[in-house]
Structure 1
Amino acid sequence: MRFTTELLAIGLALVDVTSGQGHNTTTELANLEHYWSYGRSMPVYPTPQTAGKGEWATAYAKAKALVAQMTDFEKNNITYGQASTTGCSGLSGTVPRLGFPGLCLADSGNGVRATDGVNGYPPGLHVGKPVPANLSRKRASWNEDLAYQRALYMGEEFKNKGVSVALGPVVGPLGKFARGGRNWEGKHIENWSLKEISTIATNLATHET
């Protein structure tokens, strides 16, 4: 009985502590770790619509044609996450009526996570593309071939494991705020280098595997 009472007291104490967390001042909110980690980007509504270019135009058209055949229930089902024991970091619902098997999304930046028979790869921070000599800001002199090989073999392993969407490569301002703690996932904080190396990685992961 005493043990049960102590557990109840601990639970009530936790409720009391956490209930006060919703009363942060503006100054306190500005210092929260998740605000720094994600750069405090403002949301954009409505979501920008696009038709895609090149091969993406074909992909967009196919996706629109498929979704147009779905009921509201089916649309909701594929946008909610589903419980899974398959090793996927995220799993969408399926639409058997239309032959849509669902999407398996998997981490991570170093290779396929939580899966046997795969390799671990260098963090994104260790790969990059040399900045052209005519640019005054020479921030990096990394190995373009390493970026190529890393992206190629990581993409092959994701595909061979049945992953629909590899949650990478990281492209964005993760290096802008050092407090975020995830800078190692990105390739570079210099815009030109980031664009070039991310293009290499994305093209290999999506087209050559």
Structure 2
Amino acid sequence: MSGPSDLNLWHRIEGYNFDQPDINLPFSARLARENGWPPEFAQRVVEEYKKFVYLMCVSDEMLTPSQEVDEAWHLHLVYTRSYWDNFCRRVLGRDIHHEPTEGGAAENSKFHDCYRRTKERYQEEFGTMPPSDIWPGEQIRFGDAERHTVVETSRLPYVTKSQLGTAAFYAFFVLWAGWSLDWNSSAWMLIVGMAAFVALTRLLPVGRPRRNR
């Protein structure tokens, strides 16, 4: 086949812009940030997500996305008005629901088959195999390599150079005071403990404001 079987539908999907203008964190940038991907890779995942949605629309059988495409789908569902009102009803002309697995060996086997069939339908409709870095083999897609936890680094505790310098100053000052007063060993143990406590309280912030998501 030279191209998608439903060109009108594909052109509507292909032309849909996920990144709204004049916003600080567009869709693809958020997708990249939340998954630790380079921006260029996230943009490619969005394009593959469009192709997967197209396949869902023109296929009567159950299809399964890659992990990367599924991340884009999950994120799109968060934008409820964009997903249901604009994308599904205006662009696709139908609702596309995300059905989770029910678990168990039978379900795993079913999703393996659906994933393999999805890549076959991809080749039938687009005339090429899907890119392997976004659509890996089944062993990678459903194996331990894909069972990972995404950590959003913006929420982790952090230490700035300024905090590090301040902590060092306080610790040095407390130790210097103890040395100047010629305290005994017990007092020295107390003062060292105090210095460590002061340094830690200067390094570890009580809380960090969340960025708007």
TM interval, shorter chain, is: under 0.3
**Which entry has the higher C-alpha Rg, 1 or 2?**
2
TM-score, structure 1 normalization:
0.19
Q: Which has the higher contact order (CA 8 A, sep 6+)?
A: 2
TM-score, structure 2 normalization:
0.19
